[in-house]
Structure 1
Amino acid sequence: MTAYAVGHLYPAARLDEEVFAYMERIQSTLAPFGGRFLVHGATVEVLEGSWPGGLVVIGFPGIDEARAWYASAAYQELIPLRTRHMAGDVVLVDGVAPGYDASATAARLRAAQSAA
């Protein structure tokens, strides 16, 4: 099942050279784990609430590959180049299986809540 690394980042008005170095080097850290950018630097269209900052989404074949990428020496070396200059949140999350149906999840949650 596909997994994702999702970053909600708050870049400074002017990007530091270390951030450019991070961007230039991150691609090579993804390849060994089957990672690829799905969203990077795109304009966010806010429909509800607020969304300060930018969004990055990287897809991986599974959560194990996503964890291994994040923990890899190659990526760990790069993290400070980004974090010294931009705040943000980064999470790993599993995607849903093919054929996922939200109504089935609602039914399961409703039943669990009723039983509690």
Structure 2
Amino acid sequence: MTAYGLAHLRPPAVLPEDVFEYLERIQATLDPYGGKFVVHGSPVHVVEGEWPGALVVIEFPGLDAAREWYDSPAYREILRLRADHIPGDLVLVEGCGPDHDSAAMAAAMRAASVPR
């Protein structure tokens, strides 16, 4: 099942040199794990609530690959180049797949919430 790395980053107005080095090196850390950017630096159009910062979405072939990438020595070597300068949140999450049915999900959730 496809998995994603989602980052909500809040970069400063001026990026330090370390961040540019991180950007130059990150793709090489993703390649062995099948990681590819899906969203990276595009403007965010907020339609509900607030979204200060930027969104990054990286797609992986599966959750194991995403975890292996994040824990890899190659990524750990460059992580501080970003994390020391850009605060944010990062999650790894499995996708729902092409056959996902939100109505069936609601029915299962409803059934599970009925007191017995």
Output the TM-score relative to the length of structure 2: 0.98
Deviations 1:36-64 (A, max 9, x none): 00000000000000000000000000000
Q: 2:97 and 2:86 mapped to 1: Cα distance? A: 33
Matched, 1:76 2:79: no
Q: Secondary structure at the match of 1:106?
A: helix
- Tell me the CA shift for residue 85 of structure 1: 0.5
2:112 corresponds to: 112
2:6 corresponds to: 6
Q: Structure 2: which amino acid aligns with 1:48? A: E
Displaced runs of 4 or more, over 6 A = none
2:37 corresponds to: 37
Structure 1 unaligned residues grouped into runs of 5+ = none
Two-structure CA RMSD over aligned residues (Å): 0.8
Structure 2 unaligned residues grouped into runs of 5+ = none
Seq. identity, % = 57
Q: Secondary structure at the match of 1:77?
A: helix
Q: Structure 1: which amino acid aligns with 2:96? A: V
Q: Secondary structure at the match of 1:4?
A: strand
2:22 corresponds to: 22
